[in-house]
Structure 1
Amino acid sequence: MPPWPVRAVVALSNGLLAFERVAIMGFMGVLTLLILINVTTRYAGLPIYWIDESAVYATVWLTFIGASAMTRLRLDFAVTMLTERLSARGQQIARIISTLAVV
C-alpha cells in the first residue's frame, strides 16, 4: 500500500477525472444545443450572433478538458516505436520519465 501522500494525490486525481467527465458531457450537450439553436434561428431569418462565439468557446473548453482527461486515462497519442522494444521494467521507467516531463 502506498504512503498517504501518494494515496491523497491519486484520490484527488480520480476526483478531478470524475469532474472532468461530467464537464465534458455538459459541454457536449451545450455545444449541441447551441448549434441546433443557431441553425433554427438562421433558418427563421433571426440569427443570434453571439451563439457562434459561444459554440467556439464551448469547443475550446471541451478540447482542453478532454485532453486532460485523455492524458489521465493514458488514451492520448503516443509514439511507441522505442518503448515497445523495451522490457516491462524499461517500459515502466519510460512511462515515469514521460509523466515527469509532462508535469
Structure 2
Amino acid sequence: MKRFVQALEKLQITVGVLFLTVFFVVILLQIITRYLGISVLWTEEVANYSFIWAIFMGAAVMVNRREHFNFDFIIRKLTGKKKVSLNIFNDLVLIAFNACILVLGIQVVREFWNYTWATIPEMKMGYIWIAIPIMAGTMIIYSVSHLMDHLKANKAKEVSE
C-alpha cells in the first residue's frame, strides 16, 4: 500500500505542478497581450480552470502529508493509546466526509459534463469538475493508508501493555 500511495502522491504532485505551470504561463500571456492591446479571450478561463486542478491535486497531497491547517493542541497532550484512538477517529471522519464529496462530485460531473467552456466551446466542463471526485477518491486512499498505520500502532500499543 505504501508504494501505491507514494506513486499516487508523485502523480498528483506532477499533475498539480503541470497545471500550476499552465496557470502561470497563461497569466503571463494575458498580461503581455493586454499590454500590447491584443484580445485573447480564453486566457482567463484557462487560468481559472488550471488553478482549480492545481489546488485540488495539492489539497489531496496535503491530506497525505497531514500538512493541512489543524488544531493539534489536543493531539499533543495525548499519549499512547488515546492519541492513536483520536487519530483513528480523525481518519474515519475524513473517510466519511470524502466519501460524501466523492458521491456528490460524481453527480456534479454527470450533470455538467456536456456543458462547454464559454471561450472554448470544444472543451467540456466535465474535464474541470472531474477534479472533485479525483481529489476525494485520492483523499480516501490516503486516509485509509493512515488508518491502517494507526490500527497497526494501536495493536502494537495493546501488545506492549
User: What does residue 18 of structure 2 align with?
Assistant: 26
Residue 9 of structure 2 is aligned to residue 47 of structure 1 = no
Q: Measure the CA separation in 2 of the matches of 1:88 and 1:48.
A: 59
Paired residues, what number? 95
User: What does residue 80 of structure 1 align with?
Assistant: 72
Q: CA deviation at 1:92?
A: 2.1
- The one-letter amino acid of 2:44's match is D
Secondary structure (helix, strand or coil) at the match of 2:73 reads coil
Residue 50 of structure 2 is aligned to residue 58 of structure 1 = yes
- The one-letter amino acid of 1:56's match is N
CA deviation digits over 1:16-42, x for unaligned, max 9?
101011112111211110000000111
Q: Measure the CA separation in 2 of the matches of 1:58 and 1:81.
A: 36
Q: Measure the CA separation in 2 of the matches of 1:37 and 1:101.
A: 43
Q: Measure the CA separation in 1 of the matches of 2:63 and 2:80.
A: 21
- The one-letter amino acid of 2:36's match is A
Unaligned segments of structure 1, at least 5 residues: 1-8
CA deviation digits over 1:29-70, x for unaligned, max 9?
111100000001111111211110110001111111110000
Identity percentage of aligned residues: 24
Comparing 30-39 with 72-81, which one deviates more in the overlay?
72-81
CA RMSD of aligned residues (A): 1.3
Compare relative contact order (CA 8 Å, sep 6+) and give the higher one, 1 or 2: 2
User: What does residue 71 of structure 1 align with?
Assistant: 63
Q: Measure the CA separation in 1 of the matches of 2:10 and 2:38.
A: 39
TM-score between both structures, scaled by the size of structure 2: 0.55
Secondary structure (helix, strand or coil) at the match of 1:68 reads helix
Q: CA deviation at 1:10?
A: 2.6
TM-score between both structures, scaled by the size of structure 1: 0.84
Unaligned segments of structure 2, at least 5 residues: 96-161
